[in-house]
């Protein structure tokens, strides 16, 4: 036998190798360059196995991305078949069929005249591409001063320099630089954290007024784009007040400001639709960015869908020599696009419908966790939700005593058979869209127990007396 054990070689230890050689995303200084994380072994349907071989419900579907579930043979076969047919071609001077097909299908799903698609390698590069497109668009139109980007507290748009400059969650920018002269941050549209005593309607008015005043103060002539997630995902599943997005979109339209709807999380079924901007929120953006669910995480792919009007304007600008000098080696990757086509077949073949049907049950069952005194609010839409813990329900104090409460809940839930995504004092849930009622029941029962055990721990340690 040639197995390492019998040949006398030491067995491979992933944890040891990772600590020595693997750098993970978002490390802290005290651990950087010397860190291993929980090992995931295999995936199957809504489950993944850990390093010890225990099977857990994949609460966050990887990173909001494994929408059709793990171990889909159809997708694995496409990966294989496309790689054998054509594994790569240069998009600089050639093209392939899967990307042209996928662009056509995505255009058919996108709202209004959004019918041109540029493919990237993920969400950050999609947002980056949209922002560089806005810069090109305004340069070509003779408006080089129209470049400021509006973003919001609580937002997450990526980890490349310009996309990361838009991020507004706590800790995102504490130790990292950004293009601050180009970005203006507005308030987070979080109804749970609205000023005490204010109605949601008045809160919405306040946010819209702030937007309008900002446009006035900076001047529309200097503002190129507003970038926003219809529902802020990793900021804690922030569902904005009803009509807020429509009213912001109207101000953008009136002031020639591009509305970039970042649907990296909300598209491809998370809210039951291929794109949610129009079908769920009633807005017709100028650009939609997407990634994650487009391939259900089986291949790194993202992109933007752009309004035909913008291309028309650029072509009519008498600047026919101007080049949009932007593109990636892996733009229009044939394997990624082939996987996305099959993934779309699966979504359209019943998974979108299932997601729409099961979403109310998912939200209802999770909402029942509000009976636990540590839980301040459970909110969400479609198959994305957040359980936000608070030290005190009256003051909505986000458990400042113990910022890692999400991690504690995650540890208990892991033992009980559920992977959760801890975010400071919040737990975010966004399972594969194929999740059944029974699996939702199990997920909620484990969360209930995991949060109860966390409450006991916090009481015992004298950190909380709820
Ligand atoms: N935009 C949003 C809304 C996201 O949630 C993310 C990632 O979580 C990104 C952009 C960045 O995507 P990626 O990590 O694929 O670069």
Specify the higher pLDDT residue, 401 or 378: 378
Shortest-distance atom of ligand 1 to CA 233: 5
Q: Long-range contacts of range 104-111, CB-CB < 8 Å, 24 or more positions apart?
A: 105/341, 105/344, 106/274, 106/290, 106/303, 106/305, 107/305, 109/274, 109/275, 110/275, 110/288, 110/305, 111/275, 111/277, 111/278, 111/279, 111/284, 111/285, 111/288
DSSP string, 355-405: HHHHHHHHHHHHHGGGGSTTEEEEEEETTEEEEEE-SBTTTTB--TT-TTH
Shortest-distance atom of ligand 1 to CA 263: 3
Specify the higher pLDDT residue, 401 or 316: 316
How much distance in Å is there from the Cα of 293 to the middle of ligand 1? 11
Nearest CA to ligand 1 atom 12: 123
How much distance in Å is there from the Cα of 194 to the middle of ligand 1? 26
pLDDT of residue 8: 56
Shortest-distance atom of ligand 1 to CA 63: 8
Shortest-distance atom of ligand 1 to CA 160: 16
Mutate to test the pocket of ligand 1, among 66, 285, 287, 291 (most ligand atoms within 8 A of CB): 291
Q: How far is CA 412 from the centre of its chain?
A: 25
Nearest CA to ligand 1 atom 1: 157
How much distance in Å is there from the Cα of 8 to the middle of ligand 1? 44
pLDDT of residue 391: 80
pLDDT tens for each residue of 183-240: 999 999 999 999 999 999 999 999 999 999 999 999 999 999 999 999 999 999 999 9
Query: Could you tell me which residues come within 8 angstroms of residue 196 by beta carbon, excluding any fewer than 6 positions away?
Result: none
pLDDT tens for each residue of 48-79: 999 999 999 999 999 999 999 999 999 999 99
How much distance in Å is there from the Cα of 233 to the middle of ligand 1? 9
Q: How many CB atoms lie within 10 A of CB 131?
A: 30
Q: Mean pLDDT, the chain, as a whole number?
A: 95
Residue 49 pairs with which residues in a beta bridge? 55
Sign of the torsion angle spanned by Cα atoms 456, 362, 385, 66: positive
**What ipTM was predicted for this assembly?**
0.99
Using pLDDT thresholds of 50, 70 and 90, give the confidence band for residue 2. Answer: very low
Query: Could you tell me which residues come within 8 angstroms of residue 152 by beta carbon, excluding any fewer than 6 positions away?
Result: 168, 185, 186, 187, 188, 189, 228, 232
pLDDT of residue 171: 85
Closest C-alpha among 234, 193, 230 to residue 421: 234
> Helices (H) and strands (E) in the chain — how many of each?
13, 15
Using pLDDT thresholds of 50, 70 and 90, give the confidence band for residue 371. Answer: very high
pLDDT of residue 30: 95
The pTM of the full predicted model, rounded to 2 decimals, is 0.96
| Sheet strands (E) in 178-329 | 183-186, 223-228, 258-262, 287-290, 302-307
How much distance in Å is there from the Cα of 36 to the middle of ligand 1? 23
Using pLDDT thresholds of 50, 70 and 90, give the confidence band for residue 141. Answer: very high
DSSP string, 209-252: HHHHHHHHHH-GGGEEEEEE-SSBSTTT-B-PPTTHHHHHHHHH
Nearest CA to ligand 1 atom 14: 123
CA distances from 364 to 32, 361, 381, 441, 444 (A): 40, 5, 10, 11, 10
> Among all chains, which residue has been given the structure tokens 């003779």?
142
- 226 in Cβ contact with 146 (< 8 Å): no
How much distance in Å is there from the Cα of 143 to the middle of ligand 1? 29
Domains of the chain listed by start with CATH number: 38-71+352-460 (3.90.1150.10), 89-332 (3.40.640.10)
Ligand 1 pocket, Cβ-based, cut-off 6 angstroms: 63, 122-124, 127, 156-158, 229, 233-234, 262, 264-265, 291, 302
Shortest-distance atom of ligand 1 to CA 300: 15
d(CA 257, CA 220): 7
pLDDT tens for each residue of 90-112: 999 999 999 999 999 999 999 99
- 407 in Cβ contact with 47 (< 8 Å): no
pLDDT tens for each residue of 230-264: 999 999 999 999 999 999 999 999 999 999 999 99
pLDDT of residue 165: 97
How much distance in Å is there from the Cα of 168 to the middle of ligand 1? 13
- 117 in Cβ contact with 106 (< 8 Å): yes
Q: What does DSSP assign to residue 160? A: S
How much distance in Å is there from the Cα of 106 to the middle of ligand 1? 19
pLDDT of residue 1: 41
């Amino acid at each position: 036998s040639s197995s390492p054990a019998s040949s006398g070689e030491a067995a491979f230890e992933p944890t040891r190798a990772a600590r020595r050689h693997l750098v993970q995303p978002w490390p802290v200084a005290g651990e950087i360059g010397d860190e291993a994380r929980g090992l995931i072994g295999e995936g199957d349907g809504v489950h993944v196995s850990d390093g010890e071989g225990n099977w857990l419900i994949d609460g966050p579907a990887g990173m909001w991305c494994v929408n059709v579930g793990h171990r889909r043979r159809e997708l694995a076969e496409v990966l294989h078949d496309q790689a054998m047919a054509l594994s790569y071609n240069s998009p600089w001077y050639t093209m392939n069929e899967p990307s042209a097909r996928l662009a056509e299908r995505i255009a058919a799903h996108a709202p209004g005249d959004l019918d041109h698609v540029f493919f990237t390698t993920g969400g950050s590069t999609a947002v980056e591409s949209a922002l560089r497109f806005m810069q090109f668009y305004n340069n070509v139109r003779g408006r080089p001063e129209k470049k400021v980007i509006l973003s919001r507290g609580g937002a997450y748009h990526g980890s490349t320099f310009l996309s990361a400059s838009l991020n507004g969650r706590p800790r995102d920018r504490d130790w990292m630089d950004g293009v601050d002269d180009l970005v203006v941050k507005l308030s987070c549209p979080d109804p749970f954290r609205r000023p005490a005593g204010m109605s949601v309607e008045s809160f919405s008015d306040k946010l819209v007024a702030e937007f309008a005043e900002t446009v006035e103060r900076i001047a529309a002539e200097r503002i190129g784009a507003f970038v926003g997630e219809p529902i802020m995902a990793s900021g804690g599943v922030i569902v904005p007040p009803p009509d807020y997005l429509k009213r912001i979109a109207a101000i953008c339209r009136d002031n020639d400001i591009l509305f970039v709807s970042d649907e990296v999380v909300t598209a491809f079924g998370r809210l039951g639709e291929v794109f949610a901007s129009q079908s769920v929120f009633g807005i017709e953006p100028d650009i939609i960015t997407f990634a994650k669910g487009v391939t259900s995480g089986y291949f790194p792919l993202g992109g933007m869908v752009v309004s035909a009007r913008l291309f028309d304007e650029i072509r009519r600008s008498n600047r026919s020599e101007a080049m949009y000098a932007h593109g990636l080696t892996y733009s229009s990757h044939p394997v990624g696009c082939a996987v996305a086509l099959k993934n779309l077949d699966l979504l359209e073949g019943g998974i979108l419908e299932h997601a729409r049907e099961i979403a109310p049950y998912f939200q209802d069952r999770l909402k029942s966790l509000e009976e636990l005194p540590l839980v301040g609010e459970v909110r969400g839409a479609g198959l994305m939700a957040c359980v936000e813990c608070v030290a005190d329900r009256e003051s909505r104090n986000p458990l400042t005593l113990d910022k890692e409460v999400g991690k504690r809940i995650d540890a208990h839930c892991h033992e009980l058979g559920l992977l959760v995504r801890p975010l400071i004092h919040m737990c975010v849930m966004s399972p594969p869209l194929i999740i059944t009622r029974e699996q939702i029941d199990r997920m909620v029962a484990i969360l209930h127990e995991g949060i109860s055990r966390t409450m006991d721990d916090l009481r015992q340690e004298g950190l909380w007396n709820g």
